[in-house]
Amino acid sequence: MKPPVAVVVLAAGAGTRMKSALPKVLHPLAGWPMVRHVLENVRRLKPARIVGVVSPGAKDVAAAFAPHPTVVQRQALGTGHAAKAALGALKGHRGPVLVVYADAPLLTTATLQRLIDECRKAKAAVGVLGFVAHDPTPYGRLITNGGMLDKIVESRDADEAEKAVDFCNSGVMCLDGALIASLLGAIRNNNVKKEFYLTDAAAIARAAGHAAIAVEGDEAEFQGINSRAELAVAEKVMQQRLRAAALEAGVGMADPDTVWLAADTKFAADVTIGPNVRFGTGVSVGAGTEIKAFCDIEGVRIGRDAIIGPFARIRPGSDVADRVHIGNFVELKATRMGRGAKANHLAYLGDSDIGAASNIGAGTIAVNYDGYGKWRTVIGADAFVGSNSSLIAPVRVGAGANITAGSVITDDVPAGAIAFGRARQVTKKGRAAALRAKLKARAAAAKRAKKS
């Protein structure tokens, strides 16, 4: 049996170009902190260990690695120094050690697996992922010879022949676990920046008579993120991957470029999504459901054959059963809608439980907050809540009850009852003209007062 892999994730970069109080690797991408994408991708390699390397005081970054351990790189002395900080946590590990970057979340599991496999095949002490660069100017070049990686030459140190090479260094490496300590130990900082470059491990391995190889990946996967603009580009790439997968699975999207997916969004086949729909994390959508334009949906399981939107907003903690309709300008928050229940127009249902086939009228508010506590509204099956009603939680409305439009419901309503809480209409014939004259005069007086 092959010894398992270990992964070191370098996450100690400063990220100053983001101009943000939030650590760079915690900035969101498809709804997840950037580093989580890297962790999910390396987890699929089924590694024996994952170790994060973080900068001093970066508690939130360390927390994002949990349950995986992190070590602190005390000073920012280069990638070689950062990798060395992980050696303690790798003690006893004999298999390959992958070194990846928390700010390069587009690198796929498949490419990493290929690097590991090639290293095993070549019994290489060091393997480096490279890419053929569209513009190689800024990158270190991978100088190979007969299948072996001879050395990695920094762009500024390259001679003319080396500059002509367009096979570039991604920085992602696979090192032999039995040799990693000695390889990293041999890296020196005799360079302009006085930093220890992980890159040097390749030449060190070759000098010691070991094999070193370079494995090619697609340039797009190695995009690192150092600025808000680069983050936006990575988000676009990520979204295009997610959208392509959804289309392939049978999701209909009139304009996929305007559907924003989270890394964990789940769709059954024959879901239809209009333009301009944003999915936060934690959403699953059942077969045959249509989500119309302009929706914002997060943290909800939506059943089959439901109709959502346009202009619907569903917040976390919700559950929407089969055949439910949620219409325009309706907000659900931590609300369960039973099978076939409807809330089609202008409503706020917070902390509510709406029974199957119940109808919630336009303008209904589940009044869940009193300034101090949040309370639940529980409505049974087949109830009818009239428009513009206010349900003062905690309150229960029984199955089959009718609430008359415009009512304020403060007390529980038994099943099968009618409840109303509204004043009787009074009509004063012919009186509008006098009222209007009064209002008109008031407006005119205010206008005069403003002028003077």
Residue 422 binding a second copy, by CB under 8 A? yes
- Out of 41, 276, 335, 352, name the contact with a second copy by CB under 8 A: 276
Residue 451 binding a second copy, by CB under 8 A? no
- Contact string 388-407 vs a second copy (x = CB under 8 A): x-x-x-------xxx--xxx
Residue 229 binding a second copy, by CB under 8 A? yes
Residue 1 or 21: which CB sits closer to a second copy? 21
Tokens of 32: 């997840």
- Out of 71, 308, 348, 354, name the contact with a second copy by CB under 8 A: 348
CA distances from 56 to 8, 36, 61, 152, 164 (A): 17, 20, 10, 30, 40
DSSP state of 406: T
CB of 10 to a second copy, least distance (A): 23
- Out of 425, 448, 449, 452, name the contact with a second copy by CB under 8 A: 425
Residue 59 binding a second copy, by CB under 8 A? no
Residues contacting residue 441 through CB under 8 Å, at least 6 positions apart: none
- Contact string 186-205 vs a second copy (x = CB under 8 A): --------------------
Let me know if 345 is a catalytic residue. Answer: yes
Residue 127 binding a second copy, by CB under 8 A? no
Tokens of 64: 């994002």
Alpha carbon distance 189, 11 (integer Å): 21
The stretch among 44-52, 64-72, 96-104, 370-378 that binds a second copy (CB under 8 A) is: 370-378
Alpha carbon distance 104, 218 (integer Å): 13
Please state the φ and ψ torsions of residue 119, each to the nearest 5 degrees: -60, -40
First vs last C-alpha separation in the chain: 93
Alpha carbon distance 367, 365 (integer Å): 6
- Out of 120, 241, 266, 278, name the contact with a second copy by CB under 8 A: 278
Sites for a second copy among residues 2-31 (CB under 8 A): 18-22, 27-28
Residue 123 binding a second copy, by CB under 8 A? no
Residue 240 binding a second copy, by CB under 8 A? no
- Out of 270, 281, 304, 317, name the contact with a second copy by CB under 8 A: 270
Residue 60 binding a second copy, by CB under 8 A? no
The DSSP string of 170-207 is EEEEEEETTTHHHHHHT----STT----TTHHHHHHHH
Tokens of 226: 């150092």
Residue 17 or 188: which CB sits closer to a second copy? 17
Closest of 30, 46, 39 to residue 62, by C-alpha: 39
The stretch among 41-49, 132-140, 164-172, 245-253 that binds a second copy (CB under 8 A) is: 245-253
DSSP state of 413: B
Please list the active-site residues.
345
